[in-house]
Amino acid sequence: MDPQAYTPENSDERLVWYSITGTYLFWLLGAMYVVAPVIGWILLLRFAKKILVNQQHFVVSNTQKFWIVAMSLMLLALVVAHLTEGLGVAKLIKSSIGWAKGWALLAIFPLIGSLNIRPQIIYRACCIVCKHTLILLPIFMLAWLLKLPTTLYTSPLSIIGGPGPEFFSVSLYELDPASGIPRWRLFTPWAPALGMMGNLFFIFTTQEQSKRYRFYGFAGSLSMILLSQSRLALVTYLLLIGFFMFIRWYRSPWLYFVASPALLFLGFSGYSVLEKVQQSVDAFKNARAGSTRVRQELGNIALERWANEAVIWGHGIVEKGPHLVEYMVIGSHHTWYGLLFVKGLVGALALASAMLVTFISLLRFIFSNAISAVAVAILLQMFLYTFGENLEILAYLFWPGLIIIGIALKQNKSTS
């Protein structure tokens, strides 16, 4: 197929294509947080209809089914915690709706990967979003230079409820409260989330066949990472580059010729290297010392209250922290702390086991199937971001990556 001619060929692909390529339109409408859950549940219903009514057969791997079980355990933990803590029916309904817009998507979109959706459609659509980013970038920069308002407006769609108004607002830029330096979050709720999407788009761009769209993808994704000024985004970007270099050249003898003396040198100078690494880590943390302190305190509070109050099922809902952590939500900025606090050991084990099973399922195909390597890269990125973000809250953004994981699992199931 002509690499310039990828277009949707069926209704499922069209839904995915326009949901991705319309990113900035949905951002202007303040509808980004709404689109992914709607698309996910619509495609799930279509999937069920094709199986039950049309009697169509789809390949679904055991790993995709495992995600359904794991995310159902999240719902069970939510219900039990609400009943145990006596939170009432109203909060239980509200939290269940939140589960449907968050954790449920981590099971729905991999399952949707079993539909007839080509990965090239997702790669191209994300490169188009990168192209739109490059086009709009001067406007965002000019807004800061002209000292325009940081946030233009908040969409009326915020009335449906969500984690906060920032998920429905149209922001031109934001200022770091500690340094006053501008950061950009574009179509995401905060700047580090933009760095996450930049890395996801970088992964997709490595698979794009068109040189023109590869340029858009690489330039746009790197711009997102730099504009976010996220330390985690930069680290993830470098690790992903190393990952794809290894996948590409793992059979080359030059890789081992270079690696052998490097490892030998590392063995002789290990102590000094460790010192340098520690100094780099300290400098990395001190780059935003205030942010690092708040994150650590949030984690400490989450762990202490989880261990002392709700070990198995968690507290059921999030709570605002004290003044010490600037009233931020306990367990935020960290998936594992948040899971332990809200859904207890059951929730944390559910996510950990699903990610581990997926990694093992994909690993043996990583060198023989390109999409398996892409899926492992996405899983690696997701794992890294569990230590800096709440995956549940950002599932509405990185859902294209979940579909790719589902497609990889389906293909591996078909060939095994």
Tell me: the pLDDT tens digits for 94-143? Answer: 989 999 999 999 999 999 999 999 999 999 999 999 999 999 999 999 99
- pTM for the model stands at 0.89
Treating both helix axes as pointing N-terminal to C-terminal, what angle do 391-415 and 62-85 enclose, rounded to 10 degrees? Answer: 150
Structure tokens at 358: 């997926």
Q: Which residue has the tokens 């700047």?
A: 191
* Residue boundaries of the structural domains of the chain: 11-250+288-415, 260-286
Q: Which residues of the chain have pLDDT under 70?
A: 1-5, 178, 250-295, 321, 323-327, 331, 333, 414, 416
Rounded Cα distance between 105 and 372, Å, is 20
Neighbours of 263 (CB within 10 A): 10
Beta-ladder partners of 151: 171
Residue 27's pLDDT is 95
pLDDT at site 231 = 87
- Given this model, what pLDDT does residue 181 score? 84
Strand 182-183 versus strand 169-171 pairing type: unpaired
Please write the tens of the pLDDT for every residue from 89-104: 998 999 899 999 999 9
Note the pLDDT of residue 285.
52
Using CB atoms within 10 Å of the CB of residue 78, give its burial: 0 to 12 exposed, 13 to 18 middle, 19+ buried.
buried
Distances (CA, A) of 365 to 87, 110, 172, 255, 413: 46, 17, 42, 21, 11
Helix or strand or coil: residue 329? strand
Q: What is the pLDDT of residue 1?
A: 44
Please state, in angstroms and rounded to a whole number, the distance separating the CA atoms of residues 92 and 80.
10
Q: What is the 3-state secondary structure (H, E, C) of the chain?
A: CCCCCCCCCCHHHHHHHHHHHCHHHHHHCCCHHHHHHHHHHHHHHHHHHHHHCCCCCCCCCHHHHHHHHHHHHHHHHHHHHHHHHCCCHHHHHHHHHHHHHCCCHHHHHHHHCCCCCCHHHHHHHHHHHHHHHHHHHHHHHHHHHCCCCCEEEECHHHHHCCCCHHHCEEECCEECCCCCCEECCCCCCCHHHHHHHHHHHHHHHCCCCCHHHHHHHHHHHHHHHHHHCCHHHHHHHHHHHHHHHHHHHCCCHHHHHHHHHHHHHHHHCHHHHHHHHHHHHHHHHHCCHHHHHHHHHHHHHHHHHHHHHCCCCCCCCCCECCHHHCCCECCCCCHHHHHHHHHHHHHHHHHHHHHHHHHHHHHCCCCCCHHHHHHHHHHHHHHHHCCCCCHHHHHHHHHHHHHHHHHHHHHHHHHC
Report the pLDDT value the prediction gives residue 269, as an integer from 0 to 100: 58
Place of tokens 């069926």: 10
What is the predicted pLDDT for the residue at 9? 87
Q: Which amino acid is at 323?
A: H
